[in-house]
């Protein structure tokens, strides 16, 4: 069983952990005084070699670099359309219980109705009293009608994302769309959704094609080859993560790793739900959270460490 995240360091993920500085210790003596003289002479020689008016750039030290920050993210497929065989009518209630218990900073949602986002937004806001929580929804398309895919209750059906914003709030932008490659045998047109938390994180979700793994792989490739590079470039190469039910497996045919870019790290629930993160994010401490039969997927809880000292190059 992976180590579970502790209460400290995961509840206030927008507050960086400080870096400690170590001081060496030694005893004074003759050898120490000789070392000091040698260093002084060396410094004078180096200074004499620098032309007048020139400056020497100081190399960066640890204190100059962004300190790591930690967040908890939760991926859930709620099967709440009312049309699929996995529908129970209990998944949103169970999702609210999990959010209340785990208090994640970020939640990605698949197979939901539009109003489910608003309901779970309130739950996450209650779990983080006084914090700013934002939410977004993107409907799946319906090819025959050219409109949205609908839940049985008449609401738009699709994917959602909830995020607790950093303190102070630096703003956010929502990006979304429909994948250009779809399975023409499936009337549902799969979508993607991202929330760019300005200067901190580009968080995304998607629910890829379930009727064709080849199409699912192509949709995954579209995200990582076109959508995310465009959004990351516009955001100044913001740390980026994608979570969702990708309907692809590690070791499957095709393999989800075939669309994972170099430098990205990936964790999964042992099945179809994955978290993929750029190299400046370390996904760890992953565990499944039972949904008590309310949906056909467990929730996937992952601790992410955003470390500006790492890159995905």
Region class of 154: left (phi > 0), else alpha (psi between -120 and 50), else beta: left
Residue pointed to by tokens 């470390």: 307
> In which band, very low, low, confident or very high, does the pLDDT at 30 lie, cut at 50, 70 and 90?
very low
Do strands 106-113 and 69-77 pair parallel, antiparallel, or not at all (unpaired)?
A: parallel
What pLDDT was estimated at residue 168? 73
Rg (CA), the chain: 24
Q: CA 51 to CA 65: how far, in whole Å?
A: 30
Residue 295 in this model has a pLDDT that exceeds 70: yes
| pLDDT tens column, 184-224 | 999 999 999 999 998 789 999 999 999 999 999 999 999 99
The token pair that represents 25 in the structure block:
């210790």
Domain 68-306 belongs to what topology?
A: Deoxyribonuclease I; Chain A (3.60.10)
What pLDDT was estimated at residue 309? 64
> In which band, very low, low, confident or very high, does the pLDDT at 308 lie, cut at 50, 70 and 90?
low
DSSP state of 150: B
Residue pointed to by tokens 């300005």: 198
What pLDDT was estimated at residue 232? 85
Q: CA 184 to CA 211: how far, in whole Å?
A: 10
CATH 3.60.10.10 domain extents, the chain: 68-306
Share of the chain above pLDDT 90, in %: 70
Report helix, strand or coil for 176.
strand
Q: Count Cβ atoms below 10 Å from residue 134 Cβ, excluding itself.
A: 18
| pLDDT tens column, 71-106 | 999 999 999 999 999 999 999 999 999 999 999 999
The closest alpha carbon to 223, from 299, 209, 210, belongs to 209
The token pair that represents 214 in the structure block:
């080849």
The token pair that represents 278 in the structure block:
């750029």
What pLDDT was estimated at residue 64? 54
- In Å, the largest CA–CA distance within the chain is 88
What pLDDT was estimated at residue 52? 43
| pLDDT tens column, 260-282 | 999 999 999 999 999 999 999 99
The token pair that represents 19 in the structure block:
């870096």
Report helix, strand or coil for 303.
strand
């Amino acid at each position: 069983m992976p180590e579970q995240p502790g209460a400290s360091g995961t509840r206030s993920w927008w507050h960086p952990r400080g870096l400690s500085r170590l001081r060496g210790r030694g005893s004074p003596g003759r050898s120490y005084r000789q070392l000091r003289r040698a260093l002084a002479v060396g410094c004078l020689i180096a200074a004499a070699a620098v032309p007048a008016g020139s400056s020497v750039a100081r190399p960066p030290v640890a204190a100059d670099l962004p300190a790591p920050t930690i967040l908890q993210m939760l991926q859930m497929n709620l099967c709440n359309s009312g049309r699929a065989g996995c529908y129970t009518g209990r998944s949103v209630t169970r999702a609210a219980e999990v959010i209340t218990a785990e208090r994640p900073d970020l939640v990605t949602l698949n197979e939901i109705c539009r109003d489910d986002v608003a309901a779970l937004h309130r739950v996450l806001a209650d779990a983080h009293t006084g914090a700013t929580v934002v939410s977004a929804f993107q409907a799946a398309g319906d090819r025959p009608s050219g409109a949205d895919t609908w839940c049985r209750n008449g609401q738009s059906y699709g994917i959602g994302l909830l995020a607790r914003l950093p303190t102070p709030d630096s703003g956010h932008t929502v990006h979304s769309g429909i994948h250009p490659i779809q399975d023409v045998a499936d009337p549902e047109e799969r979508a993607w959704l991202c929330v760019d938390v300005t200067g901190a994180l580009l968080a995304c979700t998607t629910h890829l094609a379930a009727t064709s793994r080849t199409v699912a792989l192509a949709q995954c490739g579209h995200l990582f080859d076109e959508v995310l590079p465009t959004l990351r470039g516009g955001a100044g190469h913001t740390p980026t993560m994608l979570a969702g039910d990708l309907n692809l497996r590690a070791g499957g045919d095709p393999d989800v790793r075939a669309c994972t870019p170099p430098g990205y790290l990936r964790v999964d629930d042992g099945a179809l739900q994955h978290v993929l993160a750029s190299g400046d994010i370390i996904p760890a401490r992953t565990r499944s959270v039972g949904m008590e039969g309310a949906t056909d997927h467990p929730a996937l809880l992952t601790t992410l460490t955003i470390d500006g000292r790492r890159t995905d190059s």
